[in-house]
């Protein structure tokens, strides 16, 4: 048997043992929790209970579309901050070319933020409240 074949075989055996160990550990944890877990039954066992308070009303709340828009904007800008952090870590190695690229990237981000503000995506107040506020200011 060649050394490459022996290395591949030992790698595959080690990986197989690892996978079997993971499945065995999961089965063990599920089995022990089902054997040692509580079996008490009652009317209040099936009610949700969080933060020391009983639920009031329905869990089916309607959120404004603005909430989802702001959540998406947060995720987008958060990922872009990750890119800037990666650039900041390697700023010395990337030199002036990297600085120019980061400057272009930040300019595009700023232009996107200005555009979002211009179309009103960052405004929280409904239009009726804005109009009433504008009339009151006059």
CATH, residue 80: 1.20.58.1610
Q: Assess whether 87 and 135 both reside in one domain.
A: yes
24 vs 111, more confident? 24
12 vs 67, more confident? 12
Segment 23-77, tens digit of pLDDT: 999 999 999 998 888 777 777 777 776 776 777 777 777 777 777 777 888 888 8
Domain interval for residue 138: 63-138
Is the pLDDT score of 1 beyond 70?
no
- Could you tell me what percentage of the chain is helix, strand and coil, using 3-state DSSP and rounding each to the nearest 5? 75, 0, 25
Residues in the chain: 138
Is the pLDDT score of 129 beyond 70?
no
Q: Assess whether 67 and 112 both reside in one domain.
A: yes
What is the total count of domains within the chain?
A: 2
Q: Assess whether 69 and 31 both reside in one domain.
A: no
27 vs 130, more confident? 27
Q: Assess whether 72 and 136 both reside in one domain.
A: yes
Q: Assess whether 67 and 22 both reside in one domain.
A: no
Q: Assess whether 68 and 27 both reside in one domain.
A: no
Cα separation of 102 and 81, whole Å?
11
Is the pLDDT score of 128 beyond 70?
no
Q: Assess whether 133 and 73 both reside in one domain.
A: yes
């Amino acid at each position: 048997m060649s050394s490459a074949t022996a290395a591949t075989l030992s790698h595959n055996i080690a990986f197989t043992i690892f996978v079997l160990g993971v499945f065995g550990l999961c089965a063990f944890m599920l089995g022990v929790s089902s054997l040692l877990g509580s079996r008490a039954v009652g009317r209040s066992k099936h009610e949700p209970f969080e933060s020391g308070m009983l639920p009031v009303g329905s869990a089916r709340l309607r959120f404004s579309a603005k909430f989802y828009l702001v959540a998406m904007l947060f995720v987008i800008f958060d990922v872009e901050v990750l890119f800037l952090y990666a650039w900041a870590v390697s700023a010395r190695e990337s030199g002036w070319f990297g600085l120019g690229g980061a400057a272009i990237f930040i300019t595009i981000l700023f232009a996107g933020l200005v555009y979002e503000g211009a179309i009103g995506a960052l405004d929280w107040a409904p239009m009726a409240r804005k109009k009433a506020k504008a009339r009151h200011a006059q």
